[in-house]
Amino acid sequence: MLVELCIDNYEGALIASKLGYDSVEVNSSLFLGGLTPTLGLVKSILENLNIDTMVMIRNRAGGFCYTDAEYDEMKRELSIFLKEDITGIVFGFLDENFEINTERTKEFIEQIHKSGKKAIFHRAFDNTADPVKSIKLLIELGIDRVLTSGQKSNAIEGRDTLKYLIENYGDKIEIICGSGLNSDNIMDFIEFTGTKLVHSSCKEYRRDITTVNNVSYAFLNGEREKMYQITSYKESINFIRKARKIDK
């Protein structure tokens, strides 16, 4: 069982390394769905930890149909991170018809593979018009791995689609299941879908009272208004143990 922790700070990567996770997906701003991380964070992970490192390239929140200027920026970010000793690049491009942008996806794959890294298509896949057509195209283009929740808001809701994709295409492309997976549901999910790759952020929240005073910088509501998202050490332990069915 390959278990990946989705993180947006060094503390999360340290937890993943200490607990024996196979890889980390490195982002900034997980509350926005994950954006391109800072080079400083990636360098800190590479210089201090021994863990496979997947780097997100996504320069804005919202969807995945980028302007030419946005795409050019992403290509520059790609070239910067490919110079580092990372394991893979996480990205995704769609067009206005909710189809995979073949040209841009192919260009990224070629650059990533030329550098000896893995090409991972992220959950933009979940907004494509047809999951079967889309996964066939990704296989044809040479994508190494796709992260998906089965075209639902979380992997539990999308488990039927995930099971189908794994059974029919899991021998041709790595299908890593993510979104909404936690220590309470992971064992049943693995048994149902037969997946060998799972992904979770194992999140909790930490208070920062300076979030709200004269001005509010909150992105959460209610009792979490003055909080921000971090990686939970306790949940990370429980998640990996149950994913690998370690009882002690």
Tell me, yes or no, whether 161 lies in a domain: yes
Instruction: List all residues 6 or more positions away from 130 whose beta carbon is below 8 Å from its beta carbon.
Output: none
Mean pLDDT within 79-87: 98
Q: Is the pLDDT of residue 247 over 90?
A: no
d(C-alpha 151, C-alpha 109), whole Å = 23
Mean pLDDT within 85-113: 98
By DSSP bridging, strand 227-231 and strand 203-207 are antiparallel
Tell me, yes or no, whether 111 lies in a domain: yes
The string of pLDDT tens digits covering residues 20-29 is 999 999 999 9
Domain count for the chain: 1
Tell me, yes or no, whether 80 lies in a domain: yes
Tell me, yes or no, whether 7 lies in a domain: yes
Output the pTM of the full model. 0.95
Residues spanned by the domain of 197: 2-243
Q: Which two tokens stand for residue 234?
A: 């306790």
DSSP string, 218-246: --S-GGGTTEEEEE-HHHHHHHHHHHTT-
Tell me, yes or no, whether 248 lies in a domain: no
Q: Is the pLDDT of residue 182 over 70?
A: yes
Q: Is the pLDDT of residue 246 over 90?
A: no
Q: What pLDDT is stored for residue 65 in this prediction?
A: 98
Q: Is the pLDDT of residue 196 over 50?
A: yes
Distances (CA, A) of 97 to 56, 92, 108, 146: 24, 15, 20, 20
Please report which residue ranges of 57-169 form alpha helices under DSSP H: 68-81, 102-114, 131-141, 159-169
| CATH at residue 25 | 3.20.20.380
pLDDT classification of 17: cutoffs 50, 70, 90: very high
Q: Which amino acid is at 198?
A: V
- Report the percent of the chain where pLDDT is more than 70: 99
pLDDT classification of 248: cutoffs 50, 70, 90: very low
Q: Which amino acid is at 82?
A: L
Q: Is the pLDDT of residue 59 over 60?
A: yes
Tell me, yes or no, whether 126 lies in a domain: yes
The mean pLDDT value of the chain amounts to 97
The string of pLDDT tens digits covering residues 132-152 is 999 999 999 999 999 999 999
Cα dihedral value 144, 151, 81, 36, nearest 10: -170
